[in-house]
Amino acid sequence: MTTRDRILDAAAELMRTRGIVRTTTKEIAKAAGFSEATLYKHFRDKEELLLRVLRERMPGFARVRMEPGEGRVSDNVFQLIRGSLDFYREAFPMLASLLSEPQLMAAHHASISRYGAGPRHAVDRIADYLRAEQKLGRVSADADPHAAAALLAGACFQQAFLRYFAEGVAAAPASDELATTLTRTLMRALTPA
C-alpha cells in the first residue's frame, strides 16, 4: 500500500467517525503513520484530502457509469439511486458537523469550489445524463432533467439523514427495495408515453 493510500484510508476512517470539522491533518498523518509534512506532499490542504476521500474511498454514484444510450434507463437510474444512497450514508457522518456551523460551511464551500466540487455538481452530472437520454428519446420530452436529478439526490440525502439520525455512524445500508421503489417512482415521470 502506498503512502498516499494509507493517508486516504486514515482520513476516511477519522472523518467518518469524528467528522470533518473535528479531524485535523495532524491526526490523519499520525493515524497513517506519517508526519504532517508527508501528508502535505500528497495533498495541498484538508479540502483536497476530503474530496479525494469522497471520490476514491466512498461508495457511490461517482463510480456509476452514465453512458447515454447504453443499458435500460431504469437500470441506470437504479444504479444512480443505489450509489447515491450508499454515498450519502457514508458521507453524512463526515459532513454533518459542517451543517451546524454556518461560518465553517461557508469556508468549506469556498474551499471546495476552488476544486470545482460540491453537491450541485452531482445534481448537474445526473441532469446531464438525463438530458442526453432525453435527446435520444429514452426520457420523456416533457420531463425536467434538472428537477428529476434534484429529486433523486434529495431523496437519497434525506434517507441518509434519517438513517444517521436514527442509527448514527453505524447505520445499515438502505435496502435494494427502497432503491427500487425510488427508481420506479422517478421513472414514472421520466418514461416516454
CATH at 184 = 1.10.357
Same domain, 83 and 166: yes
Round to whole Å and give the CA distance between 34 and 46. 16
Q: What is the pLDDT of residues 1-55, one digit of tens each?
A: 899 999 999 999 998 888 888 899 999 999 999 999 999 999 998 888 888 888 8
Same domain, 74 and 136: yes
Q: Give the C-alpha distances (Å, rounded to integers) separating 112 from 83, 134, 144.
A: 22, 31, 28
Scored b (16 or more CB within 10 A) or e, 2-35 reads: eebebbbbbbbbbbbebbbbebebeebbebbebe
Q: How many domains does the chain have?
A: 2
Q: What is the pLDDT of residues 147-175, one digit of tens each?
A: 999 999 999 999 988 998 899 888 899 99
Same domain, 28 and 105: no
> Domain containing 48: what range?
3-54
Same domain, 49 and 107: no
- How many C-beta atoms surround the C-beta of residue 145 within 10 A? 20
Q: What is the pLDDT of residues 66-118, one digit of tens each?
A: 899 999 999 999 999 999 999 888 888 887 777 777 777 787 777 777 777 77
